[in-house]
Chains A and B, each alone.
Chain A
């Protein structure tokens, strides 16, 4: 056997740079555009409406007032549809020269399409479209979703799938209601909600991490369990003693000077209660913690490749436990929203599936806290539309409007979001040899 020495040695450097490249085009945006244009046109053609649409941008009390805008509804709607059609055509034309539609095009498309829809929906109504409320309501509806999604992101980044977000929200809402009522102190309620979320998380941890029960199954069982328990306690304990146990004092809105004066957005975003401000802080904090701290690096490592983490001396189970508990606490804050911010009492199954939507936001947001929060906002926005449309008496059946958040997700995921990749060890228990 001879040894080989190579005179000119091929290096294993960047092969990629030397390769010929061809342009990859994605057809998805163009297809999504065409579908949406067709649907919008169909809607306008089949259900035409008469009259003007009024958009209101500020309330009487605002410091800076923007005048209301009144436009002929159907005309504007058709113009907007025409615009979206132009964008769709442009995207198709781009495809022909082997280019895909840029992201800003999708943003413009979404905005124009949305205006078309609103103009049609509000046409002929004697009520104004409260644009500020459209935004503010969306933020409010999104609060539990955002906290739920943040908790989901933390858990899954550590490799534990948290289907139990729903039950953590519900447990948080329940305990915030009881403790908040007993103490007549919303802070105590908030604190109790955090503990309740962590308690559910602890159960999840024991079964999923220590006993390696399938994480999805544990999550579903926990959801059923908590729904059952809270419903039972609600009718057996809370209802008979509603005054003592189920009547909280809510957080009062805090108006932030200056910021609250910004037209349209100011009143919507900066005249809210403490929990909403907590949400604004929580999103960047979670991002920072995950990507810029030792804790976050370790959490992500056990979610991606627990064995590798183990070989550098990281305690996989302990890291996962801690992450799951923290996640539970975060979700708990979202639960408190229901009973010490939104309304002042607990109701049976009042979270109504928000936990599952939060779970969708986690995936839609590609397991990133900021994206997931925006996804949750989008859901909040879509759910809020329902309320706004019924104010102006839009002719859309409410059942259809309830579908909207899901339709929006489907379109957005299919048309805009690229392939998303879960943490590699997500949902996989770590077994040491």
Chain B
């Protein structure tokens, strides 16, 4: 099916999120949308999917103008979308999620679960991956959840597929698999819109590339352009794509973790006797495939985990068993992995979110009252400094684009006096220009003599940002190696092969 968008314009109040955008996607084509955070990519896709109504312009499928009143109509017309934030019901099974809204029944409204299961298996088999139709979605790794989104779209015979930043949460291997699936879909004649911030992926699968900046199309690019060229076109200036940092100037070991063990409520040992030290002025990257205990390790550093044993010493002070507030007051900055769940209060304004963890005293609070002036000055400065694209500091943070929300979290955590910085996936979903900036700020923090722990599933980030890399697998430390370690060795270590063997 051929997809055509003509002069789509979408405004949010005074903000023009999409400004007369036109786009054509042929059947059997993968069309990439590139653009900074807040450029309006997701908005455009939501218009296409019937979630938003455009203020101007029209959507055409095979030359016919469509009038979608809701996603149901878009879906019926053959459009499927894999959302940036998954639209799956966590407590439902895979089969239930796939059939929802399009349920096979035995008549009289009785669900035909077997038919739904068969459908899941049939589509999964077609693409050569395994999904248990009876697994509950919340128990599945994100990569698998995403496949369920794809199965969901395909089960409705979608001919136009929209992927909104599907790789932001995937491991390198899952990304490769997704690319393969996309190529298969393309071969079967689907028209695909693919949004990503990772230029390597763009060059790998795109047939055509459209670049959007501040709501408007700035031009087409071709897959044979270099990363630097693509990045420049997107951001409108030259972007430094590798992390620039000097030799570390180490101080003493300031963070000492020994025999740290974290168990969950069901008794699974998520972090298994982990020991390491981080010196002041050093970045330690905790690398590994998503879900191997890195997140829990990071959360334990902030006191967010319940069942923790072992010891964590910050500057000689034991922090296991202390409250999160105590630990924050010790000067620990924390960038959580899922900003929507742990990092931000969606309905609060940007300014409120920026002072969220500093409610216990000056400069923002005196005598139990928030000093609004101080807060707003600070917020205005932070927004400026971190280039947060927002309509103002009093806008609810939930209205910001994904990447800009991430910048709000970083702005908050990095503008305190820190004695330890823990950042989980700090650049997830962030555009190349902002990645450059965030990496620069993390390196500055390091150079100020602060120990830094970064959790990352991106090899590029691990190698670029880290002074040393700790690889985790199944809750255990596979090895701690210098960042000059070859990537394929790191890859093997992430699969659980010990460092010496991997290097051999």
Contact = CB atoms under 8 A, between A and B. Distances in A.
B265 interface: yes
A187 to B, nearest CB: 26
B396 to A, nearest CB: 12
A310 B46 CA distance: 12
Q: Which of A298, A304, A308 has the most CB of B within 10 A?
A: A308
B431 to A, nearest CB: 16
A22 B263 contact: yes
Q: Which of A6, A10, A312, A313 has the most CB of B within 10 A?
A: A10
Interface string B461-504: 00000000000011100000000000110011011110000000
Contacts of A23: 267
Interface in B237-295: 241-242, 263, 265-270, 272, 289-292
Contact of B72 (A16, A298, A313): A313
Contacts of B292: 15
B451 to A, nearest CB: 28
Contacts of A8: 491-492, 495, 497
B107 to A, nearest CB: 11
Given A310-B71, A424-B90, A10 B496 contact: yes
Nearest to A302: B89
A421 to B, nearest CB: 8
B448 interface: no
A236 interface: no
Contacts of A298: 100-101
Contacts of B444: none
A267 B92 CA distance: 41
B108 to A, nearest CB: 8
B173 A19 contact: no
B458 to A, nearest CB: 10
Given A10-B494, A12-B141, A20-B475, A309 B92 contact: no
Given A10-B171, A314-B101, A19 B268 contact: yes
A144 B267 CA distance: 41
B6 interface: no
B269 A7 contact: no
Contact of B101 (A19, A22, A312): A312
A310 B70 contact: yes
A301 B101 CA distance: 10
A12 B173 CA distance: 9
A60 interface: no
A1 B100 contact: no
A21 B241 CA distance: 42
Interface in A1-29: 1-13, 15-16, 18-24
A225 B291 CA distance: 52
Contacts of B91: 304, 424
Interface stretch (A84-92, A289-297, A357-365): A289-297
A12 B88 contact: no
A4 B487 contact: yes
B72 A314 contact: yes
Contacts of A2: 487
A330 to B, nearest CB: 18
Q: Looking at chain B, what size class is its interface with the partner chain? A: 35 or more
Nearest to A6: B491
Contacts of B348: none
Nearest to B85: A307
B460 A1 contact: yes
Nearest to B271: A19
A159 to B, nearest CB: 12
Contacts of B221: none
Q: Which of B87, B89, B144, B459 has the most CB of A within 10 A?
A: B89
Interface in B123-162: 141, 143-144, 152
A294 B103 contact: yes
Contacts of B227: 1
Contacts of B143: 12
B172 A297 contact: no
A399 interface: no
A244 interface: no
Contacts of A1: 199-200, 227, 241-242, 460
Nearest to B152: A312
Contacts of A311: 49, 51, 71, 81, 83, 87
Nearest to A3: B200
A310 B83 CA distance: 13
Contacts of A6: 172-173, 488, 491-492, 494-495
A24 B72 contact: no
Contacts of A293: 105, 109-111
B96 interface: yes
A19 B475 contact: yes
B415 interface: no
Contacts of B105: 293-294
A11 B109 contact: no
A10 B100 contact: no
A354 to B, nearest CB: 30
B266 A301 contact: no
A15 B267 contact: no
Interface string A302-329: 0011011111111100000000000000
Nearest to A433: B52
B173 A9 contact: yes
Nearest to A22: B267
13 contacts: A1-B200, A1-B241, A6-B491, A8-B495, A10-B171, A10-B496, A15-B292, A21-B267, A21-B268, A298-B100, A304-B91, A308-B87, A311-B51
Given A21-B267, A314-B72, 18 more contacts: A4-B459, A7-B488, A7-B491, A10-B495, A12-B289, A13-B141, A293-B105, A293-B110, A293-B111, A297-B103, A300-B89, A300-B92, A305-B90, A309-B101, A311-B83, A312-B72, A313-B70, A313-B101
| CB-based closest 7 A-B pairs | A313-B72, A312-B101, A6-B491, A10-B495, A308-B87, A24-B267, A9-B173
